Amino acid sequence: MDINVRKRSQVQVVQLKGQLRLGEAVDDLQRTINESMAEGDARFVVNLSEVPMIDSSGIGVLVRFLASAKKRGGSVKLVNPSNFAQKTLRLVGVLNLFEVYEDDDQAVASFN
Amino acid sequence: MSFEAGAGAADQPGEVTNSFELRLQGEVRAIAAAADSISAKLQLLQIAEEKQVEILLAVHEALANAVVHGCKNDPSKEVRCRLEQYANGHILIVITDPGSGYSPQQLPDPTGDEHIHRDHGRGIYLIRQLMDNVLFEHNGREIRMWKY
């Protein structure tokens, strides 16, 4: 999985590309999150437009990510999840935990 | 002992027209390659794309369960995975691990208010949502998943 992080208006925008599933992908994302939070970041946007599949481990990371960000006074907002990723998040009942936006700009602006 | 979930059992699916079996070491890094092999087979069988992704995610969840819980991520242990296509088009996936088993009926509902914020415990629930019929055999060491 490719993980690209860039900062926009004090918001970390995390662009993911590939399947978010148990193993390297989930481990890499968790490491990225840990590093960013260790630097004090708490406002995140995660773009899921190029994530065709999320398994339960990937869902677990996103849910843990959201809880950690909120604990620090921030949040995690999702952008444009692929159809199957959105379906999967809905099936397990966690889609409603997140604010979902159509693009990065809207998601970043929502923090202001 | 077996447990059943989902819609009714497959009735008279006919003969097995295609089958495929693979074995993988009981470690997490073996899962992706095994799932990719199943994916290639589903494409070869010309299964509808929407069904393919649902089957593939269910396979991934079941393999992860077998490796992490059944094998305790021990590469000296082995997980077996079999795919069968029947004459009526139904797909059966059977995944077996060497673990001590568990009772899938005792797993809590991960969508309930008290569990929705947990970071684990959604795999079996997801399988049941994605597949049309799910059976657990041999005290949970074997899962049989149907897609109609």
Q: For A95-100, what is the mean pLDDT?
A: 97
Six token digits for residue A109: 């602006």
Mean pLDDT in chain B?
Answer: 90
Domain positions in chain A are 2-109
> What pLDDT, in 10s, does the model give residues A34-91?
999 999 999 999 999 999 999 999 999 999 999 999 999 999 999 999 999 999 999 9
In this predicted structure, what is the pLDDT of residue B1? 35
Return the CATH number of A2-109, one of 3.40.640.10, 3.40.50.720, 3.10.290.10, 3.30.750.24: 3.30.750.24
Search chain A and give the residue with CA nearest B54: A84
Q: Residue A92 in contact with residue A58, Cβ under 8 Å?
A: no
- Do B57 and A63 count as a contact with CB atoms less than 8 A apart? no
pLDDT band at B108 (very low <50, low <70, confident <90, very high): confident
What does the pLDDT read at residue B11?
54
Per-residue confidence at B7, pLDDT binned at 50, 70, 90?
Answer: very low
**Which residues, 6+ apart, have CB-to-CB distance to B21 below 8 Å?**
B80, B81, B82, B83
Three-state DSSP class for residue A4: strand
Whether A94 contacts chain B with CB within 8 A: yes
- B80-101 residue pLDDT tens: 999 999 999 999 999 999 999 8
> For residues B132 and B145, is the Cβ–Cβ distance under 8 A?
no
113-142 in chain B: CB under 8 A from chain A: 116-120, 122-123, 125-126, 129-130
Window 78-107 of B: residues touching A by CB (8 A cutoff) are: none
Task: Read off the DSSP letter of residue B82.
Answer: E
Pick the residue from chain A with its C-alpha nearest to B27.
Answer: A23
Answer whether residue B137 shows pLDDT above 70: yes
pLDDT at B12: 63
Cross-sheet strand order for the sheet of B78-86: B2-6, B133-137, B142-147, B91-96, B78-86, B16-25
What chain B holds in terms of domains, given with CATH numbers, is 2-147 (3.30.565.10)
Q: Which pairing describes strands B91-96 and B142-147: parallel, antiparallel, or unpaired?
A: antiparallel
CB atoms B117 and A84 under 8 Å: no
Q: Which residue of A has its CA nearest to B123?
A: A56
Q: Is B98 helix (H, G, I), strand (E, B) or coil?
A: coil
Residue range B26-83, pLDDT digits in tens:
999 999 999 999 999 999 999 999 999 999 999 999 999 999 999 999 999 999 999 9
CA angle, B20 then B23 then B26, to 5°: 150
Cβ separation A63–B118 shorter than 8 A? yes
**Which of chain A's residues have a Cβ under 8 Å away from the Cβ of B64?**
22, 55-57
